[in-house]
Amino acid sequence: MNLDPENLVQYLDQTRQLYGNQLFLEDIGQGNTETYPEDLDSFHKLICNCQKCPLSQTRKNFVFGVGNPKADIVFIGEAPGEQEDIQGIPFVGRAGKLLDKILAAIELKRDDVYICNILKCRPPKNRDPLPSEVEKCEPYLIKQLQLIDPKLIVALGRISACTILKTKDSLKNLRNQIFKYAGIDLLVTYHPAALLRNPNFKKPAWEDFQIIRDKYLLQP
């Protein structure tokens, strides 16, 4: 690879953002490219002490993600909340319990899917992610998706969807469409917390999950 000094710095910074401060070089003698973690556990261990943004100073736990490492469906929220930060597991509060019930309605369990957030650390007082935080953390999410290689990503809630898709559109307009993110189909639905606040959202959310079931679970 021939890089001028400016591009080399950019390349190394991008590599550091994805894989931490360990530097993996090409083995020229063998003709191999860079060696990176090939499974989620190894990747988790590599990045779990991340200090790239100020959230690392206030977190209790780095919330990587849970579920099937080769899941067909990955659910993505925007960031850990208070209980997630305490337990180190995404979606463990009331919203998480509701998500479990919705999954059961389409005959899925947590162990069948993968659940994570865009940010791996809790923002203070559960505020929305800042662009600077997303910039640092999104490469981790993309690497997770590359390792899992799912058929479908489900963005849970408008904040998650708008952050991933780089849009300010309404959730109403984002629903009932299939987008692409990191080369993977992406569908937008309500965050379970929104369903707890407004039961009127349960019917359209159920319609979304029927699409998930019919298009991505029942198809060969």
pLDDT for position 209: 97
Which structural domain, as residue segments, surrounds residue 89?
A: 35-217
pLDDT in tens, 91-144: 999 999 999 999 999 999 999 999 999 999 999 999 999 999 999 999 999 999
- Reference 212, options 193, 196, 188, 195; nearest CA is 188
Asked if residue 130 belongs to a domain, the reply is: yes
Asked if residue 199 belongs to a domain, the reply is: yes
How many angstroms separate the CA atoms of 17 and 46, rounded?
11
CATH of the domain at 54: 3.40.470.10
Asked if residue 6 belongs to a domain, the reply is: no
Asked if 34 and 24 count as a contact pair (C-beta separation under 8 A), the reply is: yes
Residue 21 pLDDT > 90: no
Asked if residue 11 belongs to a domain, the reply is: no
Residue 28 pLDDT > 90: no
Asked if residue 181 belongs to a domain, the reply is: yes
Asked if residue 17 belongs to a domain, the reply is: no
Asked if residue 155 belongs to a domain, the reply is: yes
pLDDT in tens, 52-66: 999 999 999 999 999
pLDDT for position 130: 97
Asked if residue 212 belongs to a domain, the reply is: yes
Count: domains in the chain: 1
Q: Which tokens in the block code for residue 27?
A: 């083995």
**With helix as H, strand as E and coil as C, how does the chain read?**
CCCCHHHHHHHHHHHHHHHCCCCCCCECCCCECCCCCCCHHHHHHHHCCCCCCCHHHHCCCCCCCEECCCCCEEEEECCCCHHHHHHCCCCCCHHHHHHHHHHHHCCCCHHHCEEEECCCCCCHHHCCCCHHHHHHHHHHHHHHHHHHCCCEEEEECHHHHHHHHCCCCCHHHHCCCCEEECCEEEEEECCHHHHHHCHHHHHHHHHHHHHHHHHHHCCC
Q: Give the list of residues 6+ apart from residue 160 with CB closer than 8 angstroms, or none.
A: 76, 77, 78, 117, 118, 191
Tell me phi and psi for residue 81, to 5 degrees.
-100, -165
